[in-house]
Amino acid sequence: MYLRENICLMLFLSYVTEESQLIRELKKGSTQAFDKIFEKYFKRLYAYCYRFTKSKEDSEEIVQDVFLRLWNIRETIQQEDTLQSLLFIISKNYLINAFHKNIHPPEFEDYVDYQEKLSVEDTQRLEYEDFLQQLKLALSKLPKTQKSVIEKSRLEQKTNKEIADELSLSEQTVKNQLSLGLKTLRSLLRETQISIWFLIFDSVFRYFSD
């Protein structure tokens, strides 16, 4: 009993002193200390960022910015600070912004719709950025006007009349282009993992209402 407790205490102390040693050295500008901190926290910080940004590229960028900031403010760090809290505070606003950036645009609504409609057995569920990529790829294969009309209607949330004015088309043409485009998208997506969702994509019918 004594031994176990002693070992726990020693491990805890060594952890604590290791951290405070790292901080002490980081404050003095030691790149070795910085490297060790990077090794220790990169993976966790990255995984954590990804949970909120849902984008590998953004996560990489944010993690880089966070560590860079940590280095830049090294002299102002207090000895009593913990690396855990420092990294949290530095990354906080980046991630809150990323969260807001994700939930507001219409594309995310489509994604929520997609994963709502997936059944429990569907093992192939796409991550948000892969979903966006497949949708974007399919859109890029559409004829120019169909693509333009669908983007303006769904992504820019313009009414049929606004689109008609912008592209100098009649409203009827806009409606036709929309339905043609969606038909084409359906067949393009048939081979992909989001085909099943698109078949039951009933927010499609929102397109036709002004």
CB of 2 to other proteins, least distance (A): 30
CB of 68 to other proteins, least distance (A): 6
Where do contacts with other proteins occur on this chain (CB under 8 A)?
31, 34, 38, 42-44, 46-48, 51-52, 56, 59-60, 63-65, 67-69, 71-72, 84, 87-88, 92-93, 95-97, 99-101, 103-105, 108-109, 111-113, 115-116, 125, 127-128, 156, 165-166
For other proteins, the closer of residues 162 and 195 by Cβ is 162
- Compute and round to an integer the Cα radius of gyration of the chain: 25
**Which alpha helices (DSSP H) does the chain contain, by range?**
2-27, 31-53, 56-72, 83-103, 106-117, 128-140, 144-150, 160-167, 171-189, 195-199
CB-CB contact of 175 with 181 (8 Å): no
Distance CA(95)–CA(206), nearest Å, equals 31
For other proteins, the closer of residues 20 and 115 by Cβ is 115
CB of 144 to other proteins, least distance (A): 19
For other proteins, the closer of residues 53 and 184 by Cβ is 53
For other proteins, the closer of residues 115 and 134 by Cβ is 115
Matching residue, tokens 């102002």:
76
CB of 6 to other proteins, least distance (A): 27
> Computed from CA positions of residues 147, 149, 154, 158, in that sequence, does the dihedral angle turn out positive or negative?
positive
